[in-house]
Every structure is written in structure tokens, then in C-alpha cells.
């Protein structure tokens, strides 16, 4: 006891060792940097709390979260033609879910996710499920077109460079925005009678000319999904019954080649139909169209999740491959030498990455991830 007490005294008398001085930390935000072409942008609108929708940015190679930011109430999503700017057209209420309403297009830097600015727009903006055709840039990226519905339809024209709304153009009875792939200041919309209108706008946004096409589709017997897919100067539409329409919106009047059936023979007998929200994606290099399909379809099943995904050879009008659907209602594909297809399941929020050629599933996210209600996914 006497020895132990002496040792304690010695220890108490020994000088304390000086702790290393803590260096102050400088708070900083890590920028995600440029994309490798596999970055996913998802418009996530959780229906249980739609006032705080978000845009989720993920790395498609490993499904790691790159970042996220607000997309307001039923916000829309688009990318600039070069992929460098993210556009969000959305609604904010002063008191969360009520109060004075502000409508705006917010612009974000895709490399840093920093807010670049905003463009105040009309409060007539369509508050709806996000579809790509409801927010579109012009071919050169100088203009933005926003879908309005009150429910009367119109299109807001905004100048990206001047951060200014230019005009609101009525498009009664017509919906969806499909910019000319070659001419700035020209867009088309599909109409309830099966035709399309094409509108030319001046530099200040006012309407210069309007033309109506011949009937392109049967709106009663075989309507088109509104999410047209740009493809080699044309826009591919898939009908509710599985017919393919290739529409040319480049000229003053919309025109199309003869539609052709995707579903034939035993597939037709088994009731295979397209279904979902963003039902198709196109690989420009190979000319392959990917379509989310479900069996035993019926009138009203056009939002059904995929039982299978079909890869369609557009040049030969044939189904080249089939793979599991994983319940996807949204599909998107990369544009590189070894394409990767991504499918999003709305009910579970799970993402699946597929081989773009064989359609074999390569990876799926785990339950409880960040996606709650995505209906639109862009890849760049």
C-alpha cells in the first residue's frame, strides 16, 4: 500500500504531456465535378408530401448519391442541350403548402449543383406528374418552353440568357412541348384530335406563325404516350397498343412516316402493351429503342409497371432482345460504346442497372433508399 501510494504521488508530480494543438477546420462543400455520362437526374415527387419534391443526382455506376436539391411542388426537370445546366420549373408557397404562390424556373450548375439564378414565370404552370415534354429547351439552349394548364393549355417562353419570361402562347386543346431539332423558336404540341400544331416564335417570344398537321394518331382508339423520345432528328412516340410513330417536328408542319406495330402475333394474343410514365429510351449510336412492357394489358393499364423491357431495332422494326422489367415505370439509357439501361420502380423506389445489349440486370439499389416517387429520370 505504501509503495502504491508513493507511485501515485510520483505520477501526480510528473509534468503533463502537452496535447497537440488542434488545427481549425475550414467548412467546404465538395463539388461532384463533371459527369462521366452515367449521372442520373431524378425528379422525385413523393405524393405523401409533394410540396417538398426534390431532384436527386446519383452516379449510375455505383448508385452513390451525388447530391440533391429542392424541386418544390410538382416540379419539372430538364437539362440544357450540353448537359451543363439543370432546369427546375416549380412552385413554392409562402407557408409551405399554402399562402402566396411563386412560380419560377431555377437554374443549377450540373458540375457543382450550385444555384445559378432563376426566371420568374406565369402561375399557369401545369402542376402535374413530371414528364420530359412539359419542360424543354430549344435546340440551341437559348429558350425554355414550359407547359401550362389551368386547365386551358398554353406554353410559357423564357429567355435563358436574359433570365426573363418572354411570352405565354395559347395552345388550346394541345399538350406537350416538342422543340424543332434544327430551328430555335419553333415547337410543336400534340392535340386532342390526333393532329399536331407547330408554332414559330420571334426573338422576343411573340407568336409569328402557327400551322396544323394532318391527323397523326387516333386519340380515341390508340392514343400516344406523351413522353416522345428524340431520335436522329425525329421524335419516337409509342401508342397505348404498342404502335410506333416517328414524327418529324423540324419543319413548319409536323409529319410522320407510316406507323408500324411493335406488338404482333403471340405477343398481341398475350396482351403485351407498353406501360409506365417514361416508357421508352433511345440509344442514338445503335438505333435501339428500349420500351417498358407489361402482359395482359387492358383499357386503362397504360401506367402499369414493366413485366419486361424490350429492345427494339428501329431500322428493321423488330424486337431484338427482351429482359426482366423489375417493375420499372421509368427507363433511361446512356449514350456510350457499352450502353447501360436504368429502370426505376415507382412503388419501391428501387433503381436497376441493366446491360444495354443483353438486358441482363447488373445491380439494384437496396430498399429504403433516397428515391420515393420518381416519374422522370435523365441520364447524362
pLDDT tens-digit readout, 308-351:
999 999 999 999 999 999 999 999 999 999 999 999 999 999 99
Considering the domain boundaries, does residue 12 fall inside one?
no
CATH number, domain at 284? 2.130.10.10
**CA-based nearest residue to 107, from 115, 98, 99, 97:** 115
Number of domains in the chain: 1
Enclosing domain of residue 286: 33-379
Considering the domain boundaries, does residue 27 fall inside one?
no
Considering the domain boundaries, does residue 337 fall inside one?
yes
pLDDT tens per residue across all 380 residues of the chain: 444 434 444 444 445 567 788 888 888 777 787 888 999 999 999 888 889 999 999 999 999 999 999 999 999 999 999 999 999 999 999 998 899 999 999 999 999 999 999 999 999 999 999 999 999 999 999 999 999 999 999 999 999 999 999 999 999 999 999 999 999 999 999 999 999 999 999 999 999 999 999 999 999 999 999 999 999 899 999 999 999 999 999 999 999 999 999 999 999 999 999 999 999 999 999 999 999 999 999 999 999 999 999 999 999 999 999 999 999 999 999 999 999 999 999 999 999 999 999 999 999 999 888 899 899 999 99
Considering the domain boundaries, does residue 350 fall inside one?
yes
Considering the domain boundaries, does residue 141 fall inside one?
yes
Q: 154: which residues sit within 8 A by CB, 6+ positions away?
A: 122, 124, 148, 168, 169, 170, 171, 172
Considering the domain boundaries, does residue 267 fall inside one?
yes
pLDDT tens-digit readout, 363-372:
999 988 889 9
d(CA 184, CA 138): 6
Considering the domain boundaries, does residue 101 fall inside one?
yes
d(CA 338, CA 355): 8
Considering the domain boundaries, does residue 264 fall inside one?
yes
Amino acid at each position: 500500500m505504501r509503495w502504491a501510494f508513493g507511485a501515485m504521488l510520483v505520477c501526480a508530480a510528473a509534468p503533463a504531456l502537452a496535447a497537440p494543438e488542434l488545427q481549425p477546420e475550414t467548412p467546404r462543400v465538395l463539388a461532384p465535378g463533371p459527369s462521366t455520362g452515367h449521372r442520373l437526374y431524378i425528379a422525385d415527387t413523393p405524393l405523401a408530401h409533394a410540396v417538398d419534391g426534390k431532384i436527386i443526382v446519383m452516379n449510375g455506376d455505383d448508385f452513390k448519391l451525388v447530391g440533391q436539391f429542392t424541386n418544390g411542388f410538382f416540379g419539372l426537370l430538364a437539362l440544357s442541350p450540353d448537359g451543363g445546366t439543370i432546369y427546375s420549373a416549380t412552385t413554392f408557397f409562402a407557408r409551405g403548402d399554402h399562402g402566396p404562390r411563386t412560380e419560377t424556373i431555377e437554374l443549377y450548375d450540373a458540375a457543382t449543383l450550385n444555384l445559378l439564378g432563376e426566371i420568374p414565370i406565369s402561375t399557369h404552370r401545369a402542376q402535374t406528374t413530371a414528364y420530359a415534354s412539359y419542360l424543354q429547351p430549344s435546340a440551341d439552349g437559348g429558350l425554355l418552353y414550359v407547359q401550362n394548364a389551368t386547365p386551358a393549355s398554353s406554353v410559357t417562353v423564357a429567355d435563358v440568357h436574359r433570365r426573363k419570361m418572354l411570352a405565354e402562347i395559347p395552345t388550346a386543346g394541345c399538350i406537350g412541348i416538342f422543340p424543332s431539332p434544327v430551328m430555335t423558336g419553333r415547337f410543336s404540341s400534340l392535340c386532342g384530335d390526333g393532329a399536331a400544331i407547330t408554332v414559330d416564335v420571334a426573338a422576343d417570344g411573340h407568336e409569328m406563325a402557327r400551322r396544323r398537321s394532318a391527323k397523326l394518331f387516333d386519340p380515341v382508339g390508340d392514343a400516344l404516350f406523351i413522353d416522345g423520345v428524340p431520335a436522329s432528328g425525329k421524335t419516337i412516340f409509342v401508342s397505348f397498343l404498342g404502335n410506333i410513330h416517328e414524327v418529324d417536328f423540324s419543319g413548319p408542319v409536323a409529319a410522320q412516316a407510316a406507323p408500324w406495330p411493335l406488338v404482333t402475333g403471340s405477343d398481341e394474343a398475350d396482351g403485351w402493351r407498353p406501360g409506365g410514365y417514361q416508357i421508352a429510351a433511345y440509344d442514338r449510336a445503335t438505333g435501339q429503342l428500349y420500351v417498358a412492357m407489361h402482359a395482359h394489358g387492358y383499357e386503362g393499364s397504360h401506367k402499369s409497371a414493366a413485366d419486361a423491357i424490350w429492345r427494339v431495332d428501329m431500322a428493321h422494326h423488330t424486337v431484338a432482345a427482351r429482359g426482366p422489367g423489375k417493375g420499372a415505370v421509368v427507363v433511361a439509357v446512356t449514350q456510350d460504346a457499352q450502353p447501360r439501361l436504368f429502370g426505376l420502380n415507382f412503388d419501391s423506389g428501387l433503381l436497376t442497372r441493366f446491360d444495354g445489349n443483353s438486358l441482363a440486370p447488373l445491380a439494384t439499389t437496396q430498399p429504403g433508399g433516397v428515391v420515393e416517387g420518381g416519374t422522370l429520370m435523365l441520364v447524362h
